[in-house]
Structure 1
């Protein structure tokens, strides 16, 4: 079973963001059949021992796919191996060996399901009630979960839409521990729900918890869930932390509602900060990106800037390496590839961009009106981008103008979760389904 290269948007009445419609026309019927007649008979390669996609943007939270070798020529089409209804939510699927894990919502419950990567067969499933009412203009985005899970040392960690952090045994699905900081913060999420994805560094699980008025950056012990340290009283944002090393100091970069901050991973000591406040309705959402000794931040309606934190004898100072006012990022996180930053500016109804990360120059911008959202992965010589319309593009990362090497329609439903690219497969989480495509 194959999916054609033609975009679903070419079909009359194709799906728009989080809305349903009829699909008409013979070509559209073929696409619909390709996505719904399951199971699909395919020769599915088994997973390799090296298959591991353990969290938001991968093992190092930078979008780099280490075990994918680009083909000399990209295939005209992909084959659909399986498609499963897993529920709603933004969480990326995780892969470990021959298993894939998905955190999602089914009705009033949040669920984690473990599947066999080759066949899509269910291995175990856990569910628990998480009632949540989304409002204030965020209804079309659903009730989550919006945070991405993370895996480390045989444990799976989830952050629910209400900010509750839970550890699970990845083999059995047994719950290991849970932290509910509603004991400290009566409301433990920002207005539209918690979307801060936890990250693991050594024996610490790092996550910012709280609400629009107050909060704190936490380091939980991965084995016990006990607090190793908590830092500050800053309100939470929709961004997720990333762990980097700057000037020999390992630190977590935390973009909260008020500022971008560097915090010592070992001690929780506040090292430096740069004011970049959430100003209604402009929210703080993308994950910070490291480039050498700089941290790059894109803020809704507030440009893209490169920050250079420097350690001195008198403490840390932060300088702006460059600032671009003509580009800005709303919810999409950019990725690096060979010194270039690739992402989506929300100006002009969505426009892809390429920025030289050293000096902030812009080799190219794509056409306007791409859409509200896109996620990105980096592979040698290429950028993989998945738009919210279910279109996957393979972009030349070295070209001096926008060049798409291949384009695939991988879903007829909105795709806000980041894809997973394996050595010979592609995992897509759309509004309600998890799909495996084979190269």
Structure 2
């Protein structure tokens, strides 16, 4: 092999074509056929590795002329560097600053092999001209796009750079008129905050008709909403959520039956990242007559439930001198007795719920997007918090660490309790789920590992537990796990999104990442889909809520309410 030696032989295309086909399979086809962290790693690194092999083929084994070989490499390097500087910020900063290269390099490599095949019989000058144009187009095309974030399977969503965002369309409309309404009288929250009363996504005491052909969900209302990953807190005839409106981070109260806005509270704050977009990430929490909210930049507000009046406000990030993580502050508050607890990234911070006095702070837990989780073990109240390398249990009154279970990978999604009182903790896509038993004996906390499974590795979507089985997502695929041993019963249905469990009927209600509402049996033997319809449009990461016969859904662009037919007993 001699890179300097010129040749008049025809270009050797077959190796380049084979590598390009392998690149297409690894980079494009694998994510379509399978899901989860492994598929993402195979796609990204497989695509880049095959692209490097195409470069090696061209320089050393293609039998192209020396000038053509060196010219192609030089133009590729210059084009990638220059055009990366002119890409939209959403692409430039996406995927830890690598989004442009993750997408542009494989497309460039495949395009280059196609050019090499098509240009075989061209004249020398035309061949070089078309080569340069191919490289420039493959690298420069991405400057015409912006990223609208990524899917749960880590695939980017692209739009034309000049197209208006959904938020811009919303802001161009006339200002929303607030509904004149007398004093709200509800006192008991139907759904007080993130994932319901026990943060377990369990809907109790509700039975619905499962034949949606004859008894379809009835749309009550639909309206645009500002971006944000917030879910809902529901109090009687009203609900609360968080959204972004331009430079204002907004807490909103809406009528459950009509969708009309009742009151809004705004703070001058805006957070944006290339994966989830703009807006607050957490969900309000209802306690007594107060509403507790945490913004994406760390603003902790306590508002009057009925009129939105500010009671007190703190910047939790500033209180502990924390730097905003790349995805913003995502923790949803929880109130235990008279203490409000929030997670500032992976660090717990507690305040007096009524005065705002700082009560305690936990140790640095690294960067995380989990929320504090209230449980009781052996009659002892405690708050679980996932951190980068452990799950910690805190005394909610004073922040004392009761017990700790360490491991290597970061735990992110919410923990869950089994019917026997054991705890399920996910270490994410690298490891899987642990089942641990925690007890107290003679004043000492004892932690016993029961099993660990890699058959489901949730790192983004929360899961539910019902009658000895876990239902959650492995990548985009809904999966059932036997809690006796951690073995997988089935894996099917590429839904993504979030899942509720209707405990009285053994039903799963999924809001897919595509905005579909899907009704399924909670059956450990097989996946049985009972009904499905398109509820909202666009990428949907927000948790849905079912209160009595009304289901609330939203994403970063719209929200809607549907009335389900209740089943006759």
Same fold (TM over 0.5): yes
Q: Does 1:287 align with 2:414?
A: yes
Matches within 5 A, 1:9-88: 52-71=190-209, 73-75=211-213, 77-88=216-227
1:226 equivalenced with 2:357 (yes/no)? yes
Q: Do 1:208 and 1:236's aligned partners in 2 also have CA atoms closer than 8 Å?
A: no
- 1:400 is displaced (CA, Å) by 0.8
State the Cα distance separating 1:188 from its structure 2 match.
Answer: 4.0
Q: For the residues of structure 2 that align with 1:232 and 1:154, how far apart are their CA atoms?
A: 31
TM-score of the superposed pair, with normalisation by structure 2: 0.63
The 8 Å contact of residues 290 and 303 in structure 2, kept in 1 or not, is answered as yes
Provide the residue aligned with 1:244 in structure 2: 375
Q: In structure 2, the residue corresponding to 1:197 is in which secondary structure?
A: coil
The verdict on how the C-alpha distance between 1:66 and 1:49 changes in structure 2, with shifts beyond 3 A counting, is farther
Deviation at 1:50, TM superposition (A): 7.0
Pairing 1:263–2:389 present: no
Is the CA contact (8 Å cut-off) linking 2:518 and 2:533 kept in structure 1?
yes
Match of 1:9 in 2: none
Q: 1:361-414: CA deviations, max 9, x gaps?
A: 3222214xx25x421111121111111111121121134111112112111211
Greater relative CO, 1 or 2 (CA 8 Å, sep 6+): 1
User: Larger % of strand: which?
Assistant: 1
CA distance in 2, matches of 1:268, 1:48: 32
Deviations 1:319-370 (A, max 9, x none): 2111112320121010112222110012xxx211111223323222214xx2
C-alpha distance 179-55 of structure 1, shift in aligned 2 (>3 A) = same
Q: Which is higher, the Rg of structure 1 or of structure 2?
A: 2
Contact 2:322-2:344 at 8 Å conserved across structures? no
**Cα pair 2:272 2:279 within 8 Å, conserved:** no
Among 442, 447, 452, the residue aligned to 1:318: 447
Which residue, out of 529, 545, 550, partners 1:404? 529
Aligned to 1:328: 457
Aligned residue for 1:254, secondary structure, equals strand
**Residues 397 and 106 of structure 1: is their aligned pair in 2 closer, same or farther, counting only changes over 3 Å?**
same
Which runs of no fewer than 5 residues in structure 2 stay unpaired?
A: 1-147, 152-156, 161-184, 565-569
The Cα RMSD (Å) is: 2.4
Task: State yes or no: 1:375 paired with 2:375.
Answer: no
- TM-score between both structures, scaled by the size of structure 1: 0.81
Aligned partner of residue 400 in structure 1, secondary structure? coil
Deviation at 1:20? 5.5
Residues 373 and 415 in structure 2, CA contact (< 8 A), matched pair in contact too: yes
Query: What is the match of residue 393 of structure 1?
Result: 518
User: Does structure 2 conserve the Cα–Cα contact (< 8 Å) formed by 1:93 and 1:429?
Assistant: no
**Cα 1:75/1:158, change in 2 over 3 Å:** farther
Instruction: Find the partner of 1:209 among 344, 354, 359.
Output: 344
Mapped contact 2:391–2:411 kept (Cα < 8 A): no
Aligned residue pairs, count:
382
Gaps in structure 1 of 5+ consecutive residues? 1-14, 22-46
Secondary structure of 1:309's counterpart equals strand
SS in 2 for 1:207: strand
Give a deviation string over 1:66-122, Cα, whole Å, max 9, x none: 242132634453222111222011110221011111211112211112111111122
Q: Identify the residue that residue 484 of structure 2 maps to in structure 1.
A: 358
Cα distance 1:432–1:397, how it changes in 2: closer, same or farther (>3 A)?
A: same
| 2-structure distance, mates of 1:89, 1:167 | 19
